[in-house]
Every structure is written in C-alpha cells, then in structure tokens.
Amino acid sequence: MLFDKEVAKVGYLSRSVPEGIDLKEAILKLKKEKNAVILAHYYVSDDIQSIADFVGDSLALAQASKKVAADIIVFCGVHFMAETAKILNPEAKVLLPDLNAGCSLADSAPEAEFLAFKNQYPDAVVVSYINCSSEIKALSDYICTSSNAVDVVNSIPKDKRIIFAPDKNLGLYVQKVTGRELILWDGACIVHVNISLDKLNALLATHPDAELIAHPECLPEILEKASFIGSTKALLEHVQSSNINKFIVATEAGILYKMKQAVPNKVIIPAPALESNTCACAECPYMKMNTLEKLYNTLYYEVPEILVNEKTQAGALKALNNMLTIK
C-alpha cells in the first residue's frame, strides 16, 4: 500500500502539517468528516486529552472500544490498547498515531518464552494483565486490568493454580489482597518502578498533611506507604470523593490533567522519579509519543492501521470477554 514502507521504517507517517492551521480544530474537523472517534488514556498529553471523545483507564477504554459505532477509532495510547480495540471492535479501522508507542510490560513477555513458561504449569489458569500483546492474550484464559485484577482472580475456583502475567508488582499486590498464591511472570512497568522511595519519603515529610495514593504497578515498598491503591480511574475518583485536600500521586503524571480539572481547589503533587526528566515526575515515554501532529497525520492519511490476524483475534477476544463478563 501507499505508505506501508514508510510506516514500517519509522513507525508513523512523518509529514509536516499544513502551515498556520489550528491543529486541534483541524483534527476535530477531520474526525467529523471521517466519522472517527478519538479514545485516549489518562497518560497522554493534556492537548490530546482535551480533544478526545473519551478519556479513561484501560478497562473503561476497552469497554468504550467495544461499543463505539464509528468507522475509525484513533487510539491515543499505546500499541496493546489499540490492538485491544481492534480485537473488541474488528469492524472499525483502528489507528495508532505512532507504532513505536509500546509498553515495557508487553515487551517483557515474548510469545515463545511465555508459551514455554505456561507449559510448565499445564493445569494452571492463565490471567494476563491487559498490558500484553494480542498473542499473549490468545494464550490466556482471562484478561484483567488494574481495575478488576482482584475480582478476576477471586472469580477463579480456589483449587485452581493461577499464572499471573506480565506485571509482577500488580501480581504481588493481587496476591496480598486475595490471599491466593500466584505463579508470577517477572515483568515491570518502567515508569512506576522508576518512582523514587527516598525522594517520596522526603516529599511526605515536607507535606505531612498529604495522602499518598498509588497505582498497583508501583513497587511493594511504595504501595506499603499508600493509603489508597487503584487504577488511574480509581485514583481520579478518590481525589474527588475524599475529604482530604492534598495528595501525592504515585503514577504517570498525565493523570494530573484530569485531577486538576476535577478538583481545582485541592493540591495534587506528582510522586518524584528516580531519574529526573522534564517534569521530575514519572512520565511514560511511550504514551508521550502521541502528539497532535501525529494524530492529525494519522487521521488524514489513515495510517498506521492496527491489524490482528483472525486466529489470534478469536483467542484474545475469548479471554477479553471472560474479563468483561466479570466487570
């Protein structure tokens, strides 16, 4: 096809956008003309969140992907999320602004190695975190997200052994909450494990009136200190419903955009990262590959498109539906 070689080489179509245009307005116009919807994760830039049709956590985005009736879904998130949208809504054309937007968790579980691991425990039920490739989903019995991992594990009969992959930290957290022993794959989110315990302790000492809230992809030593643990959506809801007025938030800093909108009078402080970047907080380099320019080009040229082969799609859909019927 016309742009295939170029996309295969760099992961996206690099074209300069027309000079002098208002990018946000141009994207909204294109979106309307093409009957497209923009789905975005809380971790993408404020600019993109501000024009998305729907912003949510992984579970809410999977649910939204399944029910949207658009011709095109532009997924402003990472590759596994766009793949999930394609699996749940195969009739739609699913576009991802930059194919390089991966995920360290998905990368930690290559298909052949995961299959060999799974084969060591032939009787175990496989629960995979949604942050994995479509091939791993197809090798799984259930998918879960950070919103429902505890419910999914609790739904499995007590006499069954469970493989939990690929996030070891989420697995350890689920193990603690459910009291079930899990067979854990050794993967991690590079963003959440980059939150510095020392810097966090210092920050907590400076703000004794702040409550620490954390995403379950964080290391156990961070979670131990947190008063509330939940998915991005749960963290957002917590700052809204809590009586507390100051929070230190241990997750990717993109969530602060919606938090500050939701509770403009509360103080929201991002947890500090080990290695400082522009915000000295935790930023996902993959999520930040989504830019307004790439989003415009994706909508205009309708590439890169996400495709999933039929056999993988069927297996992954089964595991995803097993999750969606639970919650």
Minimum CB separation of residue 105 from ligand SF4 in Å reads: 5
Distances (CA, A) of 20 to 16, 23, 26: 11, 9, 11
Nearer to ligand SF4, 98 or 252 (CB): 252
d(CA 292, CA 191): 22
Binding ligand SF4 (rule: CB under 6 A), the pick from 284, 292, 295, 319 is: 284
Nearest CB to ligand SF4, comparing residues 31 and 187: 187
Extract the tokens encoding 209. Answer: 């009136």
232 interacts with, out of ligand SF4, ligand 13P, none, CB within 5 to 8 A per kind: ligand 13P
Query: What dihedral do alpha carbons 280, 286, 290, 293 form, nearest 10°?
Result: 90
58 binds, among ligand SF4, ligand 13P, none (CB under 5 to 8 A by kind): ligand 13P
Residue (13 or 253) nearer to ligand 13P, CB: 253
Give 128's strand partners: 143, 165
Residue 83 sits in the site that holds ligand 13P (CB under 6 A): no
Q: Which does 57 bind (CB under 5 to 8 A by kind): ligand SF4, ligand 13P, none?
A: ligand 13P
> Tell me, what DSSP letter sits at residue 131?
S
Between CA 271 and CA 292 the distance in angstroms is 26
Q: What tokens does 120 get?
A: 């060591």
- The b-or-e profile of 273-296 (16+ CB within 10 A means b, else e) is beeeeeeebbbbebbbbbbbebbb
Nearest-Å Rg of the Cα atoms of the chain is 20
3-state secondary structure of 321: helix
User: For tokens 């069927």, what's the residue?
Assistant: 314
For residue 209, the minimal CB distance to ligand 13P (Å) is 26
DSSP annotation of 108 reads: T
Nearest-approach distance from CB 78 to ligand 13P, in angstroms? 6
- 134: tokens are 């479509």
From the list ligand 13P, ligand SF4, none, partner contacted by residue 104 (C-beta under 5 to 8 A by kind)? ligand SF4
194 contact choice in ligand SF4, ligand 13P, none (CB below 5 to 8 Å, kind-dependent): none
- Separation between Cα atoms, residue 59 and residue 66, nearest integer Å: 11
Q: Of residues 44, 85, 96, 103, which one binds ligand SF4 by CB under 6 A?
A: 103
Q: Is 194 in the site for ligand SF4 (CB under 6 A)?
A: no
Smallest distance, ligand SF4 to C-beta of residue 30, A: 26
Contact 248, 213 (CB under 8 A): yes
Nearer to ligand 13P, 41 or 294 (CB): 41
Of the pair 167, 211, the CB lying nearest ligand SF4 is at 167
**Residue 62 structure tokens:** 């999977």
Residue 57 or 135: the one with the smaller Cβ distance to ligand 13P is 57
Specify the stretch interacting with ligand SF4 by CB under 6 A; choose among 15-23, 92-100, 188-196, 291-299: 188-196
Question: Closest Cα to residue 171, out of 133, 138, 211, 220?
Answer: 220
Beta strand 162-165 pairing with 125-129: parallel
Question: Any contact of residue 290 with ligand SF4 (CB under 6 A)?
Answer: no
Please, what is the minimum distance in Å from the beta carbon of residue 203 to ligand SF4?
Answer: 20
Interface residues toward ligand 13P, by CB under 6 A:
57-58, 131, 145-147, 189, 217, 231-232
The residues of the shown chain that bind ligand SF4, judged by CB under 6 A, are: 43, 78, 103-105, 131, 189-191, 217, 252, 284, 286-287
